[in-house]
A and B are shown apart, each in its own frame.
Chain A
Amino acid sequence: MSFRVRGRRVRKWFFGDSARAFGTLGVLLLALLAIVPAKDRFREWLGYQKEYEILIRGRTDGVALAKRFQSGVQQIWLPERDVTDRCMTCHTRLKETSLAGVGQPFRPHPPIPHSLTEFGCTICHRGQGVATTVEEAHRSTKAWEEPILPAQYSEAGCGQCHRDGLKGTPQLNAGRVLLARYGCVNCHRLVSPEGGASQGTDRPPSLKRIAEKTTREWIYFWIKDPQAWAATATMPNFGLSDADARDVSAFVISQSSPGSIAPAVATNDAGAAAGAELYGESFCASCHAMQNAAGKITGGDLAPDLTRVGSKVRPEWLAAWVKNPAAYLPGTMMPHFRFDEKQIGLLVSYLGRKQDSYFPANIRLEPATAAQIAHGQKLVLEKGCAACHEMNGVARPDNFAPDLTAVGSLPPARVLLAPGVPRTLPDYLAAKIREPHAFGREMKMPRNQFTDAQVEQLVTALLAQTSRSQTFPAALRRPTPVNVTYQPAGRAGQLMKDLRCLSCHSINGTGGSMAPDLTWEGSSVQRAWLLDFLKNPNTLRPVLIRRMPRFNLSNDDASTLADYIMTAYQTPAFDREEVDATKLTPTEASRGKSLFYGKYACNSCHIVDPDNDKGYIGPTLTQAGTRLNAPWIFHWLKNAQALRPGSLELNWNMNDEDAWAITAFLMQQKNTRKPGGER
């Protein structure tokens, strides 16, 4: 029987007439409809729950685990937070710490400060909470473009609410610092939900008088590759060609206001050695770095690297700058040292010899033509130089670069991808930071030389900028501490501004973090000591390389400053004059001494007896009796954190007797010998 004939017979048997077709199709339909519930019976999550049941069956604590296990779709529903998370349907026991060694999806969640049922999963981890299949829940699909956040960026989840520098999120915090420090926020807007855009912290210099300061050749060399000049440079690399750099330098010089600088000071080699000494004595290295003979860069990173400063700046500008920096750059962080003409000459002699032989030998620029200047101006506008630098005739551009406020919610479908970059948001951001020009030569975003770790930090900080983070209720948000702009008043205030105290010290929440907080300094110290210190600062911590410089203050200035600090910076918690003499008896002091060396082992960190004590984490206390006030010591011992939050000093929670005894002991320390310094 041929195949065709048999086929016809079969067809006839099944579909021969409408009754047969009816019966056949009826059975077929029934079979197909049966697939529908069968499909439900084999849902993916059921498989995981079954797997979990098998897993706990083999364990000794299986009975207890089984009792706590809930089958079926599990859900955290938080309507007010727009959370519907069914992750626990497969991740069955997130709180079962005894299953710590088990792999996913049954691994318990590591301890975090938040309750899982209070926030759900997707607020931090992203992904699709409502999904009950692996693919849909974790990966990017057509309906959902927010895949699970990769583990290395998990701190971005915290950053959505926490803008206050959470201690457990170093990567996020570092990323935010980088965003502000490397000028990212000068072009890109990053608005916080409380309002107010992030401000840069790198303070790019004004270029309005740049011709006084440096040469066109140096500008040319610098803008081609700032990091080639100084590894610590925060200015990014714009990838300019030689001709472009030539033209930009031409324009930058051409827009500079006419110079008003005094003629050059005399320099000499002998002065250079003395200048080096003065450089050290003035603690310039607290802020400025320099390459030493061994080729190692030492010094602070608050201010520019001075290794080759002689090739960079004009000597007459340097002299004027050292004399009073604010005259050239009113917003500078550099204090006004009261150097005399001789000292200025020494410093200029020293720094002027810090030169790079390569530079003058190799960089030669012909005088600029008008066309070059015009092209340079065009480039300056294109690259947005004025977003960071003040310039004559170029306004600061608004909305120069894309707003990054909600960049963490950017759907991957909407980002432009360079070849070879995986289609995920973190990869896109990392690629963009690492090599912006890979997305097209014409891209105006410049490149910074970030390390892999820094790129990870930056991406983390950017991923925290979700659209969700903008809509969280205020009760959940931990905003950036409000940037108070405290400015001391009056003549002392002028003086403090001139000395740039707030570059290093902070007062009332404003200022730098390099030196101690001075908010309650008036309660802490005695005026005589303070006056002496201002005129001739010595260090309290002998091992520090960063120290308070000597500003060569006049007696008048110093006492104005001391008076102001003593009156304005007093804590309301106690009165520094209120001393109960009965508590400061010699017997108490000797008891205090034994407590100091015994029970509390203060000598681990502080030096009282410079010959025997060695701990030098805390300030030296050899002259505590002349420096500090007794009530301050007492309260400090009780709870130092309340007086200076973030201080290294522990909160001892000491009882009053012990605290007074140690206070008595310390008030006896009136050693006049200048400690340390020679280390």
Chain B
Amino acid sequence: MRLRFVAALIALLAIAGCHRPGAPAAIAAIAYGNAIVMVSGDHQAAPAGATLEQPLVVQVNDADGNGLAGARVEFRGSGGASFYPATGLTGSDGQLAVKVQLGSMAGRNSLLAMSRDKTGGRFDLNGAATALGYQQVLGRELAEQHCARCHDSRSTAERVSNHDNLGVTPHSLDDGLATNSLGTADLVAIIAHGGAAIGRSPEMPPYSPTLSVSEIDALAAWIRIVAVPAYGKP
């Protein structure tokens, strides 16, 4: 009796197992390109664990540098970044857009897109995204409020840029070439006491009475983490 029951159970499980949809069919490439280029979505920053606001769009080119439809692109990320979908085929314009969810820890996530040519040789594209911790999120908010009007050259209807109206053109805040050479103390000093404090343009005003010490630290932390090229390790 028990034996029969067990047998029935096993049979049932077996049936259930057979009916379960198997692993998604592997996506096979229809076409093979020669190069992969970034279209948009590189160097975004978002809170740790969040989905990037803009998708990551890459394009696979053929030998002539034209977008190639049907090429298979596979994405991998470090730092916990994940992609939806992780593998896909390029569309008719040779482009493929994927959503990127960042890792759960603040820091840089590298994004890697891979495709193969006819011979099976691999070619890659490296991108990066930044996962922000609390401090950096705060820094980003503060920068948006206090800094972006001068340091960001892009104008929008809501926020017209003052970038081009200044005597000395301000650096973009993610310009690692400019900020990485500054020590953290100097960075904090410029924000707190103005450009004049370390002999730079006085058009950069001092923010020390307006922003608290921790807010200035947060700004500096944000500037550090979004720097391109990255700050710190070469």
Contacts and interface: CB of A to CB of B under 8 A. Distances in A.
Q: Do A and B touch each other in the complex, judged by CB within 8 A? A: yes
Interface in A268-295: none
Given A110-B133, A152-B49, A168-B141, A616 B165 contact: yes
A171 B53 CA distance: 12
A545 B156 CA distance: 10
B231 interface: no
B108 to A, nearest CB: 12
B160 interface: yes
A170 B164 CA distance: 28
Interface stretch (A200-208, A563-571, A646-654): A646-654
Given A171-B47, A298-B157, A452-B99, A650 B137 contact: no
B134 A112 contact: yes
Nearest to A104: B105
A600 interface: yes
Contact of B137 (A170, A598, A641, A648): A170
Interface in B47-65: 47-51, 53
Contact of A453 (B53, B103, B105, B160): B53
B230 interface: no
A151 interface: yes
B162 interface: yes
Interface string B172-204: 000000000000000000000000100001110
- Give chain A's interface secondary structure class: loop
A251 B137 CA distance: 49
Contacts, number: 111
A170 B162 contact: no
A107 B105 contact: yes
Nearest to A638: B209
Interface stretch (B9-17, B114-122, B210-218): B210-218
Given A110-B135, A168-B218, A545-B157, A151 B206 contact: no
B104 A112 contact: no
Interface in B95-116: 99, 101-106
Nearest to A605: B162
Contact of B49 (A150, A544, A601, A616): A150
Contact of B202 (A110, A112, A153, A600): A600
Contacts of B160: 543-544, 616
Nearest to A149: B49
Interface of B: 47-51, 53, 99, 101-106, 133-135, 137-138, 140-142, 145-146, 149-150, 157, 160, 162, 164-167, 196, 201-203, 205-210, 214-215, 217-218, 221
21 contacts: A104-B105, A110-B134, A112-B134, A151-B50, A152-B48, A152-B50, A152-B102, A152-B104, A154-B134, A167-B142, A167-B215, A168-B134, A171-B47, A452-B99, A456-B50, A601-B201, A614-B164, A617-B149, A617-B162, A641-B210, A650-B209
Given A152-B104, A614-B164, A648-B149, 15 more contacts: A112-B135, A150-B104, A151-B50, A152-B47, A155-B47, A168-B138, A170-B140, A170-B141, A171-B50, A453-B50, A601-B203, A604-B167, A605-B162, A641-B210, A648-B145
